[in-house]
Amino acid sequence: MEAGARAEARGRPEVILRAASPRYGEKLIKVLLVLAAFISVLTTTGIVVSLLEETINFFREVPIGDYLFGTEWTPLFNPPSYGVLPLVLATFIVSLIGMVVAIPLGLGAAIYLSEYARPSVRKTVRPILELLAGVPTIVFGYFALTYFTPEILRGLFGNDVQIFNGLSAGIIVGFLIIPTIASISEDAMTAVPASLREGAFGLGGSKLQVTLRVVFPAALSGIVASIVLGLSRAVGETMVVLIAAGQQPQWGVNVFNPMETMTTFIGATGKGDISTGSLEYKTIFAVGMTLFVITLIMNLFSIRFVRKYRQVYE
Amino acid sequence: MSAHGEAVAPPSEAVGRPSASRRAKDLGFRIGLLGCLGLAFLLLGVLLWDVVRDGVDRLDLDFITSFASTNADQAGIEGALLGTVWLMGVCAVFIIPVGVATAIYLEEYADNTRWYNRLIEVNIQNLAAVPSIVYGILGLAFLVRGPLSLGPVVLAGGLTLGLLVLPVVIIAGREAIRAVPSSIREGSMALGATQWQTIWRQVLPAAVPGIATGVILALSRAIGETAPLIVIGTPVFVAFNPDGLDSSFTAMPIQIFDWISRPSNDVNNYLPLAAAGILLLMIVLLCMNAVAIWLRNRYEQKW
């Protein structure tokens, strides 16, 4: 507004547009709003500073090479060993199982809602998906431990499946992130203009061909972003793995066995009463830093990807 | 939301029927898609049924008016319920002004060609996707211990959850403010109102339903968050109601988590307690979501 007024004043110098008073109140309000916006920047700074400080202290006591490349995580043993790879591996396995469940189901739901469902169906189905997204993760954890593992997994694979296992946690984490993938992908697909579909139908394409060869590629950036965001949620998910996957670090890939992920370790250690400054206290921050860096890379990738490859229609 | 809807249908009638194999493929694909959606809903259905079956017998007035106890028959959720109410109060008092102010700044004042405004924007998008447990670490390092050293009290817990869900309010608030057409602002300014008068008297009142929906969704996310509260060291066994911001507390999800992880036996079976707690939590959540949906439908404006 102000810039426009000024530009006009430059063209016709006899007209001087100026506020009647300096309006200090307006300026004060703007300062307050900037301060509020700054709280979010401070939050990120706070996260980085708090993680970095204790992580550096941690690496004063534990060599960084032992941490990053060690395959034994036994902080409570004597002598303790702080190789983080078993935690990272478990996180990776659980997330991978989750993605195998969530990508087909989430994308299938998104394609159906965007391309096939009638508007009335979409209007009723979307709130149910939102409900699924709103169920607290502790509820999914309870379900995984008390129903999914004993009734479904043991029914399928027998008693090889231990009561705490990575498979159950992974599958349930997958269901947890279906709404994330479905809703962002659906938005991306509904944003593809109708003219593209009409053109493809005009060339004789079937509904299936138009969906898979025209709409899907046109919405790909949003779809990739939704998958990366889903993956980032799976990696950071705590309650389901803490409850259903057990708390034993394992350097192996047997998904019927208990697994300890990075988030499980932080949660399980934070639960106990630990004294500030102890090595145990610092491990929380070192593992938290590892988790934060991994998810940060994925989030930034997803945010950039949407920006860079977004087709601008109309 | 979408412009196409049913308007686009393959004009198969005009050019003759498609081949049978093509129709079979189309049908198979359609059924597959429905199956994806069906499977997701089936799991949600089984989950709800499982929780209701396990917990409904335990969910009564005694459950709501009893405190934590090692005796499973006498245990209840009163302290945790009140703790959650306190937490949500602190959380709301924090996120409403800060979230709305940030949304106003980004939509009405910020020039998004400036690098610092773009930084704030990317930063908020990223914060929305930071794992909740990391916020717990932040709360532990800055609020509970470290500079503020509040201890695991109501204020520290509420602020930790507030920081966690702040991006939800900001993003919803921005959308609501953006949806107010610029003609309203131009009209107000043409009548001589200042920028803030325009925002306060025209834009914000029109955006209130959207903002309120965002706040309720944010609180409904905060109410079920467990991981950050575990990390800040929220005590589990609290047999009293919190009576202030500096009061020790426990919360519903923490209490539920404790009942799940306690070893159960024939004498003391804590799992029905956990299920009853979950049911209560879900009922509260459903009410909050219903209010949000009602707000959205009742006050939705088409400009």
Express as a percent the part of chain A with pLDDT over 70: 91
Express as a percent the part of chain B with pLDDT over 90: 60
CB contact under 8 A, B26 and A206: yes
Residues of B in contact with A285 (CB under 8 A): 137, 141
Question: Of B33, B43, B278, which has the smallest distance from its Cβ to A175's Cβ?
Answer: B43
Q: Read off the pLDDT of residues B146-197 as tens digits, 9 standing for 90 and up.
A: 888 898 999 999 999 999 999 999 999 999 999 999 999 999 999 999 999 9
Q: How far apart, in Å, are the Cα atoms of B165 and each of B81, B95, B169? A: 20, 8, 7
Question: Of A134, A141, A303, which has the smallest distance from its Cβ to B126's Cβ?
Answer: A303
Residue A61's CB is within 10 A of a number of other CB atoms, namely 10
pLDDT higher than threshold 80 for residue A65: yes
What is the rounded CA–CA span in Å between residue A42 and residue B22?
57
Question: Of B36, B46, B233, which has the smallest distance from its Cβ to A104's Cβ?
Answer: B36
Residues of A in contact with B140 (CB under 8 A): 50, 270, 284
Whole-model pTM?
0.88
Chain B nearest CA to A95, separation (Å): 14
In A, minimum Cα distance to B279 occurs at A139
pLDDT higher than threshold 70 for residue A12: no
**Max Cα separation, chain A?**
90
Q: What confidence tier does B2 reach under pLDDT thresholds 50, 70, 90?
A: very low
Please give the single-letter amino acid code of residue B271.
L
Q: Read off the pLDDT of residues A248-287 as tens digits, 9 standing for 90 and up.
A: 888 888 999 999 999 999 999 888 778 888 888 999 999 9
Chain B nearest CA to A227, separation (Å): 13
Report how many Cβ contacts below 8 Å link chain A to chain B.
271
What is the rounded CA–CA span in Å between residue B219 and residue B285?
9
Residues of A in contact with B204 (CB under 8 A): none
The token pair that represents A174 in the structure block:
């997958």
CB contact under 8 A, B233 and A295: no
The token pair that represents A80 in the structure block:
């303790």
In B, minimum Cα distance to A230 occurs at B129
Q: What confidence tier does B237 reach under pLDDT thresholds 50, 70, 90?
A: confident
Chain A nearest CA to B274, separation (Å): 8
Residues of B in contact with A273 (CB under 8 A): 233
- Nearest to B245, CA basis, from B103, B94, B117, B104: B94
In B, minimum Cα distance to A275 occurs at B145
Q: Quick one: pLDDT at residue A1?
A: 45
Q: Facing residues of A73 across strands?
A: A82
CB contact under 8 A, B285 and A229: no
Mutate to test the interface with B, among A2, A17, A43 (most CBs of B within 10 A): A43
CB contact under 8 A, B47 and A125: no
Mean pLDDT, range A191-199, rounded to an integer: 92
CB contact under 8 A, A138 and B130: no
Angle between helices A24-61 and B78-104 (to 10 degrees): 120
DSSP state of A160: G
CB contact under 8 A, B131 and A43: no
Contact yes or no for A172/A143 (Cβ under 8 A): yes
In A, minimum Cα distance to B281 occurs at A136
